Structure 1
């Protein structure tokens, strides 16, 4: 939830004004989280880097967390979580991650295994000719 709220207004700027500043200065600011880490990224134009880094500083040090934005983002997050319960890719990712953690063994697509396999001890991961990865 926090990762989704960091660009919803910061410092003296409400959500609309903050997004307008990002757009006016050609700044792409993204935050994400999973069960292992919190991550942020920024894309900016060199000639506008001072303003871009100021907007990033505001997001990290003075986020607004206004009530209306919190309610709206919460609903977006809840909708995304509901969609994940029926999305085949999300279901497969969770199944592969669970298999990797329990070391039961499962064939996973390379894209899923790429996030799971690095956490596993050596010798537990092998490739198949069909482009799948065996987690055992």
Structure 2
């Protein structure tokens, strides 16, 4: 793993299982099994992991960029509908993480894990009609 001076303060002393926890959270958000809730405690636990970290906007943007790269590297669906939903959630959630991590923040902890959906089946371009097929 490469060092990242911008993100190092956020991830210093992070649980080595953090990548798995993020994957479990995102899987649950997008309709997969409730692994994060079952093993980590759901939304309340997620908030507790961000409180007091003081995440900055540049750190948030870097994390979003790396997460989008990881989506490509791990083979998440590339169809535009899924990727738009995924990117939208990551943007939204990471902005909440900045708010929740601010000094003195007291976010509600009784919220459910958010759920996101997208058009199914995946969008695909339709063949162009030609004069022969009209």
TM-score by length of 2: 0.28
